[in-house]
Amino acid sequence: MLNFSLKDKVTIITGASRGIGEAIATVFAENGAKCILVSRKQDSISKIAEKIKENGYFADAIACHIGYPEQIKELYSKIKHKYKRLDILVNNAATNPHFGGILDADQGVWDKIMDVNVKGPFFMTKYGVKLMLESGKGSVLNISSVNAEKPGLMQGVYSISKASLVSMTKVFAKELAPFNIRVNALLPGLTDTKFSKAIINNKEICDFVIKQIPMGRYAKPFEMVGAALYFVSDAASYTTGSCLCCDGGFLL
Ligand SMILES: NC(=O)c1ccc[n+]([C@@H]2O[C@H](COP(=O)([O-])OP(=O)(O)OC[C@H]3O[C@@H](n4cnc5c(N)ncnc54)[C@H](OP(=O)(O)O)[C@@H]3O)[C@@H](O)[C@H]2O)c1
């Protein structure tokens, strides 16, 4: 029997207050994980954690701005104190405050995107892996984007950040493989969340993008979860440094 169970696995999901992160947290909890939901806003993650608990599964919620390494250290000290271990980390939170040409991206835009989308996952992984090393096993999943492979129109700096995350996935995967810690990446295509409203709510841009998707539609957040579950579970025990697109054929 393939083992997709996440029973009792202590699991952090960043950006779990809505969208793809909420979907991952919900299904991982249903599969037995002890999910710790992270985002900047305590209220938002507590609400999702309550929903998961009402359905009879485990969830906790700890606020952290992943752009600040000091907050990440505090997050891990709380987790170490309460749970003593970390089995799975999903680096899902990201931001894109700039929808426009690359030459119009100023330093503030660059810093914000790089802080949250690159520095955040880097320090979440660096400090999280310390806990995984103590138990001799672990799994990290980075949520990148198809933009890592094919830059999105008007999303230049964001595309650069997501390509960095693919590189980061491979660097950590190679260095951590001898320690039984696997690191993989999922590259979603256009998915119906708050994040993608700038595209989905603009009929002209949305039609232009949909024309490039062989399946002829965008995804729902839950359509990203099967691949995420595979990567972090023991079913993927020989898979590391791998990047999988879930994009309705967009990159074909
Ligand atoms: N939607 C798409 O079409 C699409 C396509 C490709 C890739 N992706 C990727 O999928 C992932 C999830 O995106 P989504 O579409 O689900 O976005 P979303 O619905 O906007 O959710 C983003 C999440 O990140 C959290 N967040 C934002 N900044 C944060 C910070 N500094 N520290 C901690 N948490 C932060 C937000 O919560 P708070 O506001 O409470 O902090 C929220 O929970 C991202 O990595 C995105 O790049 C999305």
Segment 192-235, tens digit of pLDDT: 999 999 999 999 999 999 999 999 999 999 999 999 999 999 99
pLDDT at 234: 97
pLDDT at 153: 87
CB of 71 shorter than 6 A to ligand 1: no
CB of 233 shorter than 6 A to ligand 1: no
The alpha carbon of 1 and the centre of ligand 1 are apart by a number of angstroms equal to 34
Spot the catalytic one: 76, 127, 158, 218.
158
CA-wise closest residue to 142 among 90, 67, 66, 195? 90
The alpha carbon of 73 and the centre of ligand 1 are apart by a number of angstroms equal to 21
DSSP string across 97-131: ---B-GGG--HHHHHHHHIIIIIHHHHHHHHHHHH
Look at ligand 1, atom 41, and give the residue with the nearest C-alpha. 40
CB of 250 shorter than 6 A to ligand 1: no
The alpha carbon of 178 and the centre of ligand 1 are apart by a number of angstroms equal to 31
Domains of the chain listed by start with CATH number: 10-189+219-246 (3.40.50.720)
What is the torsional sign of CA 108, 73, 173, 4?
negative
pLDDT at 212: 97
How much is the pTM? 0.99
CB of 95 shorter than 6 A to ligand 1: yes
At 9-42, the pLDDT tens digits run 999 999 999 999 999 999 999 999 999 999 999 9
Q: How far is CA 82 from the centre of its chain?
A: 23
The alpha carbon of 15 and the centre of ligand 1 are apart by a number of angstroms equal to 5
Q: How confident is the model at residue 107 (pLDDT cuts 50, 70, 90)?
A: very high
pLDDT at 193: 98
pLDDT at 1: 82
pLDDT at 98: 94
Q: What is the percent of the chain with per-residue pLDDT over 90, rounded to a whole number?
A: 98
Angle between helices 69-83 and 120-135 (to 10 degrees): 30
Residue 218 known to be catalytic: no
Polymer length of the chain: 252
CB of 26 shorter than 6 A to ligand 1: no
The alpha carbon of 2 and the centre of ligand 1 are apart by a number of angstroms equal to 31
**Backbone phi, psi, residue 90, to 5°:** -115, 110
The tokens 């119906």 sit on which residue?
A: 192
Ligand 1 pocket, mutate which of 42, 62, 92, 165 (most atoms under 8 A from CB): 92
Residues sharing a CB contact under 8 Å with residue 221, sequence separation 6 or more, in sequence order: 19, 20, 22, 23, 191, 192, 193
Distances (CA, A) of 169 to 2, 174, 247: 25, 9, 19
